[in-house]
Amino acid sequence: MKLGFIGTGNMAAAMMGGIIKNRIAAPEEIIGSDPFAPGRERVKEKYGIRVTGDNREVVRDADVVILSVKPQFYADVIAGIRDDVTDSHLIITIAPGKTLAWLEEQFGKPVKIVRTMPNTPAMVGEGMTGACRNACVTDGEMEKALAILNGFGKAEVIPERMMDAVVAVSGSSPAYVFMLIEAMADAAVSGGMPRSQAYKFAAQAVLGSAKMVLETGKHPGELKDMVCSPAGTTIEAVRVLEERGFRSAIFEAMKACEEISKSL
């Protein structure tokens, strides 16, 4: 498989690392372009891939092209490559708000497009990606796209109408979780724990809790109840969180995120 990245930033680098580690594509089969020379040289040095400053070269050399640039640059990037994109190319996008219909309009011709929304835990091989396709993409081509996406975490096919919810629940949510870990660590520091140790305890608690949800199949509320002994420390902490609107704050933050995604 010849794989091309237009854009070699953090998300692209995370994807490359997982793809190479899991032998979905070899470094010599991957090419990346970026107008920022230090950025493209960084991934060349780290992963041994080929790099260029020419987006069109990526399209000409690759079977699968991943558009890993910010949403505001998509129109210009597509305008620059659409004449080189053929009906044999598979285009994978990672931009929130850019619908399949919008993407098809930008290309101005039938193009195979898989729209995705990954997240930054891809950088440690634990990404979560939602994916949908347009009518030009065959079942076999979708399987190829999912193999790429599973190379740096987990991927699931979703209907496009759910993509903005995916942005809120996984695409942006690492930021919420990092804030939670930081707040937990700050509180532990105030209780006398060294900061480096506080981050480790807080992060491991989040990691372990997430693993319990995924591996036990139990409802999160049931798992919460298992920790809350009668008249104990945990239920008192839960009472304060409820009093301060913890769940409502998360809910409203995610809805705000979803609305912004729709407007991009």
- What is the three-class DSSP state of 68? coil
Query: Is-contact 125 14, C-beta < 8 A?
Result: no
10 is in an annotated binding site: yes
- What is the three-class DSSP state of 113? strand
9 is in an annotated binding site: yes
HEC sequence for 5-61 = EECCCHHHHHHHHHHHHCCCCCHHHEEEECCCHHHHHHHHHHHCCEEECCHHHHHHH
In the block, tokens 């608690």 appear at 205
Query: Is-contact 34 109, C-beta < 8 A?
Result: no
212 is in an annotated binding site: no
94 is in an annotated binding site: no
- What is the three-class DSSP state of 90? strand
6: closest CA among 97, 108, 94? Answer: 94
17 is in an annotated binding site: no
Helix or strand run (H / E) with residue 257: helix 246-263
> Longest Cα pair distance anywhere in the chain, in angstroms?
68
Query: Is-contact 262 164, C-beta < 8 A?
Result: yes
11 is in an annotated binding site: yes
Six-digit token pair at 110?
A: 């039938």
Query: Is-contact 6 39, C-beta < 8 A?
Result: no
235 is in an annotated binding site: no
Binding residues: 6-11, 55
Binding residues for NADPH: 55
Binding residues for NADP(+): 6-11
